[in-house]
Amino acid sequence: MTDVEHQKWWGWGVEGIAFHHEDKPAFAGFVLDKVGIDLTQPGGEPPTFDEIDVPASRLGDDLGAQLRAAVGDHQVSTDDMLRVVHTYGKGMRDLVRVRAGDLPRVPDAVVYPANEDEVRAVVDAVVAADAVLIPFGGGSNISGSLTPQPHEERTVISLDLGRMNRVLEIDESSGLARIQAGGLGPDIEEQLTTRGWTMGHQPDSFKHSTLGGWIATRSSGMQSDKYGDIADITRGMRVVLPGKVVELRPLPSTSTGPSVREMIIGSEGRLGVVTEAWVNVHRVPENRDVIAYLFPNWAAGLAAMAEISTSDAAPTITRVSDANETTFSLATRKASKGISGKVGEGLFEVLRRRGWDLEKVCLSYIGYEGGTAKIRAEKSVVGKIIGKHGGIRLGRGPGSLYDQKKFDTPYIRDFLLDRGAIGDVSETAAPWSKLGQVYTTTVRAARAKFAELGVPGFIMCHLSHSYHSGACLYFTFAFPPNADDDFLGQYDAVKTVIQQSFIDAGGTLSHHHGVGTDHAPWLEQDISEAGTDLMVGLLRAADPGRNLNPGTLI
Ligand code: FAD
């Protein structure tokens, strides 16, 4: 049996880690106030696997024998638990459905190749048998991009790249590393940092997502202001298609027609299997600092981020939360440490006396990396811009809290589901000139939908990545669906108005979560009908038999 480790079949992360509120004194009151859930009442338990009825594998003898010949007997599994783990990503629809045992189509087998030759043999066998192949990285996507089509009649094979997790080579003079696509964030960073290098790509899902998945979904990490999105970081690739391999050498730039590299990035498994990539790597920085600031309101925070993006400072992180998310952040701080020293009643009293409206205060984090002189100069530039927009510096202590919490917050969605509530995210990017409008329209649309459903709902937002011409806005929403209507129907209703607001107000359907099946209804509005035609043509030419992850993207 394979030794690849997987996330929980029913939720985020690994067994034994969960979100707890008992050490966060303000959290229960916050949740009661905002979404009406009483945390003094015990939550429900996630289902046990025995309660789930898993459809039997339909793997035929011939294909099964070919797959075993390709990767070895122990690396082909028809185990029920493994097949369920490979059925869904970790989106809200996925979590609700898997918890309910809603499994219309489950992969018939999970296959774990050790190298590119084995990937080629598997791809060729699957296509020759007219079966379906779905590449699987960490299974962390939240766009519904790896779930088999519900009525798929053909055999479905999930190709798990988990054994291909090595840094193969570092070209030190070019700052490039060749890395296998199945490496999880921690695998990759550990192998790089022991040699003094870092890729710097840190999505919130870092612990449970892979290089191949990042490339296939156009991922972006929290330090993208410095390191770039995965589309910037990825320079070369090898991609297995039926009967052939696309080889893209790592080039700093090239003028060889429409970019094949860009076609593969974001292709969600529909243009083949990425087996390895050349990525930009950087020397591990001498110093790293995250400093927290406060703004009197959201408009001031947005204006400051826009000005920082065109200034001489080049921070690694530019992040500002709206007033709602600031309240949430304060409610999730622990009793004994954290922001309490500074963002406590004392500070708020001072701000009140200065005329700040405490309902509108916005928390911001700016990250710096590099030599001492560089960081000092950047902090000075940023400090002046923040001051100009009425903000104040809180300091390093609250900033380090951001680093501590960043990988734990994802567990909160399961905590809410255990209590019958939905908590999810939607993110977009828009030009600076449209950002305010995207924000206002989206918040208004979500609140109107909460009112229509008759539920106490909460929506909050932060700006998470800045660019020359605009930024990413990341919304989180939560509500307990009413008992009269179907749970996922109410989720869809809220998610739909949020996504439509993005498009209507000038944003994109997603900045870094990809299209999948969940965002596909907005693709044509985003890239135009003619743009969609181009994409359909590309997918048909590469995969005429629709054997590679059909149904996602378009
Ligand atoms: P999977 O979920 O396994 O697969 C995603 C898609 O990629 C599928 O279509 C699959 O077929 C395809 N694929 C996977 N590997 C390959 C390959 N080798 N070749 C070809 N196709 C392949 N995303 C961000 O960008 N930034 C974030 O900060 C972030 N935070 C998140 C936080 C949480 C709590 C969750 C649940 C998700 C978050 N995500 C984030 C989304 C998710 O982690 C990304 O979409 C990630 O890139 C998916 O990688 P994965 O390895 O898990 O891919």
The angle formed by the CA atoms of residues 31, 35 and 36, to the nearest 5 degrees, is 85
Catalytic residues: 474
Query: What is the percent of the chain where pLDDT is above 90?
Result: 89
What number is the average pLDDT over the span 126-155?
Answer: 98
Ligand 1 touching residue 266 (CB < 6 A): no
Q: How far apart are CA 81 and CA 89, in angstroms?
A: 14
pLDDT category of residue 267 using cuts at 50, 70 and 90: very high
pLDDT tier at 15, thresholds 50, 70, 90:
confident
Is the beta carbon of 213 within 6 A of some atom in ligand 1?
Answer: yes
Cα–Cα dist 480/458, whole Å: 10
Q: At what angle do helices 323-331 and 27-35 cross, to 10 degrees?
A: 140
Would you report the helix, strand and coil content of the chain in percent, each value rounded to 5?
40, 20, 40
Report pLDDT digits (tens) over 529-542.
Answer: 999 999 999 999 99
**Pocket residue to mutate for ligand 1, from 19, 126, 201, 209, most atoms within 8 A of Cβ:** 209
Pocket flag, ligand 1, residue 141 (CB < 6 Å): yes
Higher pLDDT pick, 2 / 486: 486
2 CA to centre of ligand 1 in angstroms: 21
Assigned token pair, 86: 């490979």
User: How many residues make up the chain in this entry?
Assistant: 554
Whether 481 lines ligand 1, by a CB cut-off of 6 Å, is: no
Q: Tell me if 185 CB under 6 Å of ligand 1.
A: no
Helix (H, G, I), strand (E, B) or coil at 41: coil
> What spacing in Å lies between the alpha carbon of 89 and ligand 1's midpoint?
8
Backbone angles phi, psi at 335, to 5 degrees: -65, -45
Q: Are 553 and 543 in contact (CB under 8 A)?
A: no
Tokens 């509120």, residue?
A: 21
The predicted structure's pLDDT at residue 247: 98
Cα atoms found within 13 Å of the Cα of residue 4, Cβ hemisphere only? 31
User: Looking at ligand 1, which atom is closest to the CA of residue 215?
Assistant: 47
**Does residue 514 carry a pLDDT above 90?**
yes
Asked whether 423 lines ligand 1 (CB < 6 A), one says no
Mean pLDDT of 238-244: 97
Stretch 218-234: mean pLDDT: 97
CB-CB contact of 121 with 68 (8 Å): no
Average pLDDT rounded to a whole number, residues 467-493 = 95
pLDDT band at 484 (very low <50, low <70, confident <90, very high): confident
- Can you tell me the mean pLDDT for 137-160? 98
* pLDDT at residue 338, as a whole number: 44
pLDDT at residue 399 greater than cutoff 90: no
pLDDT digits 0-9 by tens, 373-383? 999 999 999 99
How many whole angstroms from 66 Cα to the centroid of ligand 1? 28
Would the CB of 476 count as within 6 Å of ligand 1?
Answer: no
Band (405; pLDDT cuts 50, 70, 90): low
Ligand 1 pocket mutation pick from 161, 205, 224 by most atoms within 8 angstroms of CB: 205
- The residue-averaged pLDDT of 355-377 equals 96
Q: Is the pLDDT of residue 548 over 60?
A: yes
Task: List pLDDT tens digits, range 77-118.
Answer: 999 999 999 999 999 999 999 999 999 999 999 999 999 999
Contact 241, 231 (CB under 8 A): no
Q: Enumerate domains of the chain plus CATH numbers.
A: 167-283 (3.30.465.10), 287-406 (3.40.462.40)
183 lines ligand 1 (CB under 6 A): no
- Closest ligand 1 atom, residue 184 Cα: 51
437: pLDDT strictly greater than 50: yes
What is the CA(514)–ligand 1 centre distance, in A?
9
Q: What are phi and psi of 156, to 5 degrees?
A: -115, 125
42 against 80, higher pLDDT:
80
pLDDT of 344: 66
**Choice from 180, 217, 473 to test ligand 1 binding pocket (greatest atom count within 8 A of CB):** 217
Which residue type does 377 have?
A
Residue 177: the pLDDT is 98
CB 148 near ligand 1, within 6 Å: no
Tens of pLDDT, residue by residue over 47-63, are 899 999 999 999 999 99
- Per-residue pLDDT band for 406 (boundaries 50, 70, 90) equals low
210 vs 398, which has greater pLDDT?
210
pLDDT in tens, 292-338: 999 999 999 999 999 999 999 999 999 999 999 999 999 988 875 44
Strands 156-160 and 109-111: parallel
Give the range among 278-282, 346-350, 371-375, 490-494 with minimum mean pLDDT: 346-350
Nearest CA to ligand 1 atom 33: 205
From residue 396, how far is each of 125, 368, 411 by CA, in Å? 55, 11, 25
Query: Does residue 181's CB lie within 6 angstroms of at least one atom of ligand 1?
Result: yes
- Percent with pLDDT over 70 in the chain: 97
Q: Which atom of ligand 1 is nearest to the CA of 202?
A: 28
Helix (H) / strand (E) element for 253: namely none
From ligand 1's centre to the CA of 210, what distance in Å?
A: 7
